[in-house]
Chain A
Amino acid sequence: MSAADGSLSAYVESTIIMTTVRVVSPFVFTFGLFVMFHGAESAGGGFQGGAIVASSIIMLAFAFGIEPTREWLDDSVIRLIVGVGATTFVGIGIGALAFDGAFLEYAAYGISHGVKYGIELVELGIGAIVAGVIVSLFMNLAGGFNHDSGGDDT
């Protein structure tokens, strides 16, 4: 508890930072999505986009305090995001097998521009995994070592 108290008292509200973050973070988030969607045709992709999306959330945590952010974005939500992302990737890969294609053979779906949409969905999935993992790593580190997260490992 002492570590959590320490990090709370170390947090200082700053109007400038809060206002700036409030304005900037939606743009950063959108830019992250933009990068993810460009994985199929140009430079971009899930890894970069996911990192940018995660940075927008970490920025919120810096500006508004880590504990309020944790309450707003619960650990189970992050887990769900990671799970959905990975399921999307694996699902699209295995789905192609059902259409007599090879694993991840987007063309097998028989949709026009199927390859492009397939890659974009996979990139979104990767982006969700990357963003979720980065945010949960940040939250865990910020929680400190006295935080009762050891219960997970027993």
Chain B
Amino acid sequence: MTDALVLLVVVPIAASLFPVALGGRFERIGWFVAAAMGLVHLGLSATVAAQVLESGVISYAVGGFEPPFGIELVADGVSAPLLVLVSLSTLGVLAYARRAGPHSNAFYSELALLTAGISGVFATADVFNLYVFLEITGLATYALVASGRSPRAALASLKYLFVGTIGASLYLLGVGYLYIMTGTLNMADLTGAVASVGYTSPAILTSFGLIVTGLLVKVAVFPLHTWQPGAYAESPDTVSAYISALVSTAAAYALVRIIYAVYTTKFLDEISLAGDALVALASVSIVVGAVLAVMQSDLKRMLAYSSVSQFGLVVAAIGLANETALVGAVVHLVGHAVMKGGLFLTVGVFATGLGVRTVEDFAGLAAKAPISSAAFAVLAFSMVGIPPAVGFVGKWNIVVGAVEAGAWSVAAVVVVSTLLTLAYFGRVIERMYFTAPEPEADAVSTDGGNDAVEVSFGMRAVVVVSAVAAVVLGVLGSDLITVIQPALEVYF
């Protein structure tokens, strides 16, 4: 039954073949293949999660080659919830894409490949295997971003391709240094091997710098975020939601694994500069991302910069090397995925149904689309961090962790970021509910509505479900923490 772990990666790869192979014969088979894959994936990730709840950690040796020589897959309290998150996000995005598209078979092949890559990142316990999955994730994302029809989408994809490849190469170079020094690629094996080489060894320090920088590019932390706003804003709404929910999340998860499982907190204690630099960079990212978000008029671009800020929070918590903060970081990863994916889909519903894309257009929207507007408001307030929603649970743990670690500056930055988050979401919500629509704006929205497709029940349902999920996850936050905590405790 432990095969479920490897099948989480294999099933999406197999599913990505069908739309290509059968595409010539059946025009729109892609969605059905992807939906079947999503359901199987959910079954598998639920199986893995049940096993993790029962026995703590499960490990799988690919090909029967025992680790540290073979490739090992591991699921624990951190990766299991994230794997379930992948399944649910896939299904949610597919429910949305049924009507909204893109409808091409190529799109669903790429989506399945992306699912495989992200599942692999969450499941692997091998640093080189992690590189392979990061590249699968990256390549599928480049193609998905380019599936937007505008030339700007192609440009955004190309930019992402260049920057993302540089990031992945830096990571690979870092892995090379690690391998030369230790002769192993298995994460659990590396823990001891790195310690025996010595944390102050220049090669180990170089590898740390290269790996972390490479992953930070993928996480999109300021100033390495330049690919991200374009990629999120120019791609189709379906793609924006999926990649904003999972792609940077996968990279941030990889960062947690590498820093805590490979280099460990002892490394962070000994090389205090490493943690300090991470925290400093992340703090800048939190503030600058939020300020840039306030300045945007295009809503998708605003949400994209908001992610730069929110991932700053996660990286700051990683750099603090404090257990509470790290738990908060993982909770915030899950929460951010639900919230940001939901927000992008809500914006997609507004854009398809009413043709509004900028903050200006949002005036009086609540009267026209009350349910979606309510969902947007709930998700936005959750992102700000208002209890009982999930945004609060993550941020609260990060703040408490920062105070425990004595990093008052981080605590202050998180509080300031909450205010800034309120600033950029507040102005949208204020327009939606309290500004009367201008007659001109009305004309624009009907113009946009002409070539738009009808908003389907599935599209609305996903938006509402994500808003409800953000609140329910917040209420169940302590349960989520009891699952996550044991897996992170071992690092401290």
Residue pair B63, A105 in contact (C-beta under 8 Å):
yes
Q: Which of B1-55 contact A (CB under 8 A)?
A: 3, 6-7, 10, 13-14, 17, 20-21, 23-24
Residue pair A152, B63 in contact (C-beta under 8 Å):
no
Task: Report if A79-B10 is in contact (Cβ < 8 Å); known contacts: A105-B63, A153-B102.
Answer: no
Residue pair B64, A105 in contact (C-beta under 8 Å):
yes
Determine whether B60 belongs to the interface, using a CB cutoff of 8 Å to chain A. Answer: yes
Residue pair B13, A103 in contact (C-beta under 8 Å):
no
CB-defined contacts of A153 to chain B, threshold 8 Å:
102, 104, 106-107, 147, 149
CB-defined contacts of B268 to chain A, threshold 8 Å:
none
Residue pair B104, A79 in contact (C-beta under 8 Å):
no
Determine whether A87 belongs to the interface, using a CB cutoff of 8 Å to chain B. Answer: yes
Residue pair B17, A87 in contact (C-beta under 8 Å):
yes
Q: Which of A89-116 contact B (CB under 8 A)?
A: 90, 93-94, 96-97, 101-108
Residue pair A90, B14 in contact (C-beta under 8 Å):
yes
Among residues of B, the one whose C-beta sits closest to the C-beta of A108 is B64
Determine whether B62 belongs to the interface, using a CB cutoff of 8 Å to chain A. Answer: yes
Contact with B along A118-153 (1 / 0, CB 8 A): 000000000000000000000000000000000011
Task: Report if A103-B63 is in contact (Cβ < 8 Å); known contacts: A79-B20, A86-B17, A97-B3.
Answer: yes
CB-defined contacts of A108 to chain B, threshold 8 Å:
64
CB-defined contacts of B6 to chain A, threshold 8 Å:
102-103
CB-defined contacts of A76 to chain B, threshold 8 Å:
24
CB-defined contacts of A83 to chain B, threshold 8 Å:
17, 20-21
Min CB distance, B296 to chain A, in Å?
Answer: 28
Determine whether A82 belongs to the interface, using a CB cutoff of 8 Å to chain B. Answer: yes
* Assembled-state Cα–Cα distance A85/B394 (Å): 44
Determine whether B161 belongs to the interface, using a CB cutoff of 8 Å to chain A. Answer: no
Determine whether A14 belongs to the interface, using a CB cutoff of 8 Å to chain B. Answer: no
Residue pair A94, B10 in contact (C-beta under 8 Å):
yes
Min CB distance, B383 to chain A, in Å?
Answer: 33
Contact with A along B151-165 (1 / 0, CB 8 A): 000000000000000
* Assembled-state Cα–Cα distance A105/B61 (Å): 9
Chain B interface, >50% SS class: helix
| A contact residues, total (Cβ < 8 Å) | 23
CB-defined contacts of A80 to chain B, threshold 8 Å:
21
Residue pair B20, A152 in contact (C-beta under 8 Å):
no
Task: Report if A104-B104 is in contact (Cβ < 8 Å); known contacts: A80-B21, A90-B10.
Answer: no
CB-defined contacts of A152 to chain B, threshold 8 Å:
104, 106
Most buried by A among B10, B24, B102, B147: B10
Among residues of A, the one whose C-beta sits closest to the C-beta of B24 is A76
Among residues of B, the one whose C-beta sits closest to the C-beta of A153 is B104
Most buried by B among A83, A94, A153: A153
CB-defined contacts of A104 to chain B, threshold 8 Å:
62-63
Among residues of A, the one whose C-beta sits closest to the C-beta of B64 is A105
Residue pair A82, B64 in contact (C-beta under 8 Å):
no
Min CB distance, A113 to chain B, in Å?
Answer: 16
* Assembled-state Cα–Cα distance A99/B23 (Å): 32
* Assembled-state Cα–Cα distance A87/B16 (Å): 11
CB-defined contacts of A154 to chain B, threshold 8 Å:
103-104
Residue pair B63, A82 in contact (C-beta under 8 Å):
no
Among residues of B, the one whose C-beta sits closest to the C-beta of A119 is B63
CB-defined contacts of A93 to chain B, threshold 8 Å:
10
Q: Which of A53-90 contact B (CB under 8 A)?
A: 76, 79-80, 82-83, 86-87, 90
Contact with A along B73-110 (1 / 0, CB 8 A): 00000000000000000000000000000111011000
Residue pair B64, A102 in contact (C-beta under 8 Å):
yes
* Assembled-state Cα–Cα distance A153/B239 (Å): 14
Residue pair A102, B10 in contact (C-beta under 8 Å):
no
Contact with A90, one of B13, B63, B102 (Cβ below 8 angstroms): B13
Among residues of B, the one whose C-beta sits closest to the C-beta of A94 is B10
Task: Report if A102-B20 is in contact (Cβ < 8 Å); known contacts: A94-B10, A153-B102, A154-B104.
Answer: no
Contact with A along B173-196 (1 / 0, CB 8 A): 000000000000000000000000
CB-defined contacts of B60 to chain A, threshold 8 Å:
102-103
Residue pair B62, A102 in contact (C-beta under 8 Å):
yes
- What is the interface of chain A, defined by CB distance below 8 A to chain B? 76, 79-80, 82-83, 86-87, 90, 93-94, 96-97, 101-108, 152-154
Extra contacts, 8 of them, besides A79-B23, A93-B10 (Cβ < 8 A), are: A76-B24, A94-B10, A97-B3, A102-B63, A102-B64, A103-B6, A105-B63, A107-B64
23 contacts between A and B (CB under 8 A): A79-B20, A79-B24, A80-B21, A82-B20, A83-B21, A86-B13, A87-B17, A90-B10, A90-B13, A90-B14, A90-B17, A97-B3, A101-B64, A102-B61, A103-B3, A103-B63, A104-B63, A106-B63, A152-B104, A152-B106, A153-B102, A153-B107, A154-B104
